[in-house]
Amino acid sequence: MRTKAPLFFLAAGIAGCAAPPPPACPPAPAPVAAPVAEAPAPIITVVAPDAPQAGPADLGSIPALPRPSPNAEVRQMVGVTDLRLTYSSPGVKGRKVWGELVPFEKVWRTGANAPTTLIADHDFTFGGQAVPAGRYTLLSFPGEKRWTVVLNKDPKHAGAFGYDAAQDVAKVEVVPTTTAPRERLAFTFDDTTEDATKLVLDWAGLRVAVPITVKTGEHAKASIAATLGNAWRPLFNAGRYAFDHESFDEAVDLLTRSIQVKATWWNHWWLAQTHEKKGDPAAAREHAQKATELGKGDKTFETFFAERVKKALDTWPKS
């Protein structure tokens, strides 16, 4: 009697697997990934916006408001010297100024806010003391009977708060005078002449004046000398223009007149080239040689022109 094969043998034969044992035939099951824990749902926090905080507004929306101590400037020409004082102008506002708001015998910025500054573009004297041209901080030591007024280099622009007596360039004793009460501090330049002026502080019934002098005559003479020392240039520039535009006769006239004012390698070299264009090699060589002599030690000549002049002297006919 035939018995039926078990079903698992039939299944193995259909798949082409050897037996026994049937469990080794099927492919190994794919590895099962470990379960991933679900991420917690994000927590969303809703924050109500803060109420606007009090503070500085946008620069574009700041209103124009008056300053308690407004900026001020006074400027004066004394001869050819430009004097300029910048300061802030405090008001009395019902207060006792001298001895209280402004203590006696203590350094004062002689104004308000930023340091009070005096600028001069020429040397000058301040209360009789020589001071070089420059920018200085004006400070003072008010007293009941006498004041000390100071010009200080103040390299850190710290004013009274960083006062260093070692940086003083002038220290002047002044006797204040009484005057009509003035609400706001003001500086003026008074009694100005060609050589002198007075720097005057006027505030709260007191007037303090410091004399300033300048050497206008010396400054004017130096300016004249500098101007005349360069008087050859306009004639040279005109002669060079005439040369560039082939107006050689006009160029000779202008360049010759430039040399008469002051001989330089510039005007001699362009006059040399002009004579060469006019067919006068002897005159051309003469002025080229003079340009070489005057150009020695001049950086511009030696860097850019010396070789050109040498080449011209080597190639231009000698007669």
CB-CB contact of 118 with 136 (8 Å): yes
Confirm whether pTM is higher than 0.85: no
Query: 212 with 236, same domain?
Result: no
**Any idea which residue has 């301040």 for tokens?**
126
For 112-161, the pLDDT digits (tens) are 999 999 999 999 999 999 999 999 999 999 999 999 999 999 999 999 99
> Is pLDDT above 60 for 307?
yes
223 in any annotated domain? no
Query: 276 with 194, same domain?
Result: no
304 in any annotated domain? yes
311 in any annotated domain? yes
Query: 241 with 207, same domain?
Result: no
> What is the pLDDT of the chain when averaged over all its residues?
87
Query: 157 with 293, same domain?
Result: no
Query: 118 with 214, same domain?
Result: yes
CB-CB contact of 173 with 146 (8 Å): yes
Query: 198 with 305, same domain?
Result: no
**Any idea which residue has 């109500």 for tokens?**
48
Q: Find the domain containing 185 and state its range.
A: 71-218
Of 218, 241, 270, the residue at which a domain comes to its end is 218
For 10-19, the pLDDT digits (tens) are 333 334 434 4
For 23-61, the pLDDT digits (tens) are 434 344 444 444 444 545 554 444 445 555 555 556 567
Q: Which letter does DSSP use for residue 130 in this model?
A: E
What was the pLDDT predicted at 10?
Answer: 35
> Is pLDDT above 60 for 7?
no
> Is pLDDT above 90 for 182?
yes
Which distant-in-sequence residues (6+ apart) come within 8 Å of 107 by Cβ?
139, 140, 141, 160, 163
Cα separation, 188 vs 85, whole angstroms: 9
Of 157, 187, 218, the residue at which a domain comes to its end is 218
Of 198, 218, 238, the residue at which a domain comes to its end is 218
Query: 134 with 241, same domain?
Result: no
Which distant-in-sequence residues (6+ apart) come within 8 Å of 9 by Cβ?
19, 22
Query: 246 with 291, same domain?
Result: yes
Query: 212 with 147, same domain?
Result: yes
Task: Output the DSSP codes for 286-309.
Answer: HHHHHHHHHHTT-HHIIIIIHHHH
Burial of 114 (0-12, 13-18, 19+ CB in 10 A): middle
Q: What is the 3-state secondary structure (H, E, C) of 168-187?
A: EEEEEEECCEECCCCCECEE
Cα separation, 196 vs 176, whole angstroms: 20
> How many folded domains does the chain comprise?
2
Query: Is the peptide bond between 176 and the residue preceding it cis, with omega within 30 degrees of 0?
Result: no
Cα separation, 46 vs 148, whole angstroms: 66
Query: 112 with 172, same domain?
Result: yes
